[in-house]
Amino acid sequence: MSLISVHNLQKFYRVHQKEPGLSGSIKSLFHRKYYDVKAVDGVSFEIGEGELVGFIGPNGAGKTTTLKVLSGLLYPTSGDISVLGYIPWERKPAFQKQFSLVMGQKNQLWWDLPAIESFILNKEIYEVPDDQYKQTLNELVSLLEVEDILKVQVRKLSLGQRMKMELIAALIHSPKILFLDEPTIGLDVVMQKKMREFIKAYNRKFRATIILTSHYMDDVKELCERVIIIDKGRLLFDGRLDEITRKYADHKLISAVFSDHITRADLAKLGTVKEYDLPKAVISVKRAEAPQIAAKLLEKYPIEDLNIEEPQIEDVIREVFTGRDLA
């Protein structure tokens, strides 16, 4: 059964054109020209219980807009959307108590108070029973290892510590669905890793359904079996992460360690040279021709080691995006 179902979602922002200069702004007072920004333009997907889905795309692709529609902040321009059986933008309290939206750039905690005060307030707002609150809080606090800083004013916390607290505040009512919009933004590598571990553990432990957006491919690679890629408001791909490579990468990488000298020009005859740092070199070749070229290499040159590899997922995705850009 799908918890989230999105069918042909469109969201256009209506913005008015600003003409330069004073006369322009006076003119636009009386005669405004409007145009539509097609932030999301016909996106459909279904997400089932307990899934952890990566939602990726370049800047301005429409990720945040989609998450805002799913959490009821925006009315869609058109489309059928159902989340937990509710129509999100009706903003029914019964619906709102079952999900959380965490935006990496926005904080809900009271800046001048210890985070625990914000948790208590959320407990009241979400009507969490006392014992459930205590249990959830304890679990989250120990998962995120923040026992010592619960009573420290939020403004005195580091960005990473604050993000952990934001997560607790968002999870204190045990939401069934979690929308995470760039939760690791601005964090250092170590903290990013900790966040990822937490998200994974939370998903496993509570069978929470999670949609995650991120510009860090490591987040997606480590966390999400399934990814949805959108660009310019349109869906490009929806499937398993490893399928992206199969579907979009028309080439493979052959990396070899040579025991004798080989010129760059010789390699270039076989494929595109990606790396030339003897004794190691990497060339990119057409997927179908990879076995023959590898055989040819082994036959003609003295080789210590040879591997045929899939290209990096980052590279594939970058190619997908830039390819679309040109089209």
Partner 1 sequence: MVNNISRYLKIWFKMAGVSMQLETEYRSSFILEILVEIGFFVVTLINIAVIYSNVPLVVGWTKWEAMILMGMYMVFSEIVLGLAFIFNLRTLPDKITKGDLDLILLKPIDSQFQVSLWRPYFASFPSLLSGIVVIFVGFAQSQIRFNIIQFLTFILIFLCGLLIAYSLGIIISSLVFWFINADSLPDLAEEVIFLSGRPSGVFPGFWRYLFLLIIPVIIMVSLPVEVLTGKQSVLWLPFAVIMAAIFLFLSRRFWLFALRHYSSASS
Ligand X SMILES: Nc1ncnc2c1ncn2[C@@H]1O[C@H](COP(=O)(O)OP(=O)(O)OP(=O)(O)O)[C@@H](O)[C@H]1O
Nearer to Mg ion, 64 or 96 (CB): 64
Which of 29, 31, 124, 299 binds partner 1 (CB under 8 A)? It is 124
Provide the token pair at 162: 């604050």
Question: Cα dist. 262→179, 272, 279, 281 in Å?
Answer: 52, 15, 9, 10
User: Which positions from 65 through 84 interact with ligand X, judged by CB under 6 A?
Assistant: 65
Cβ-Cβ contacts under 8 Å for 25 (sequence gap 6 or more): 18, 19
Total number of residues that touch ligand X (CB under 6 A): 12
Chosen from Mg ion, partner 1, ligand X, none, partner binding at 316 (C-beta under 5 to 8 Å by type): none
Residue type at position 86: Y
321 binds partner 1 (CB under 8 A): no
Tell me, residue by residue from 49 to 68, as one string, x for binding to partner 1 by CB under 8 A and - for no binding.
-------------------x
13 binds ligand X (CB under 6 A): yes
Total number of residues that touch partner 1 (CB under 8 A): 30
The CB-based long-range contact list for 317-323 (8 Å cut-off, 24+ gap) reads 317/56, 317/217, 317/229, 317/244, 317/248, 319/248, 319/249, 320/229, 320/231, 320/236, 320/237, 320/244, 320/248, 321/57, 321/58, 321/231
203 binds ligand X (CB under 6 A): no
Minimal CA–CA distance to 170: which of 208, 217, 130?
208
C-beta of residue 224 within 8 angstroms of C-beta of residue 241: yes
Which residue's structure tokens are 């076995």? 291
65 binds Mg ion (CB under 5 A): no
Nearer to partner 1, 18 or 300 (CB): 18
110 binds partner 1 (CB under 8 A): yes
* Surface-to-core class of residue 17, CB atoms within 10 Å of its CB (0-12 exposed, 13-18 middle, 19+ buried): exposed
Nearer to ligand X, 73 or 113 (CB): 73
Shortest CB 14 distance to partner 1, Å: 6
Shortest CB 155 distance to partner 1, Å: 11
136 binds Mg ion (CB under 5 A): no
Chosen from Mg ion, partner 1, ligand X, none, partner binding at 26 (C-beta under 5 to 8 Å by type): none
Q: Are strands 226-231 and 52-56 parallel, antiparallel or unpaired?
A: parallel
Chosen from ligand X, partner 1, Mg ion, none, partner binding at 57 (C-beta under 5 to 8 Å by type): ligand X
Stretch that binds ligand X, among 58-66, 140-148, 204-212, 258-266 (CB under 6 A): 58-66
Cα of 278 vs its chain's centroid, Å: 37
Which of 14, 29, 59, 130 binds partner 1 (CB under 8 A)? It is 14
Which of 64, 71, 192, 214 binds Mg ion (CB under 5 A)? It is 64
Beta bridge partners of 82: 5
d(CA 136, CA 144): 12
57 binds ligand X (CB under 6 A): yes
Provide the token pair at 55: 């939602």
Stretch that binds ligand X, among 19-27, 57-65, 153-161, 291-299 (CB under 6 A): 57-65
Residues that bind ligand X (CB under 6 A): 13, 15, 37, 39, 57, 59-65
Residues that bind Mg ion (CB under 5 A): 64
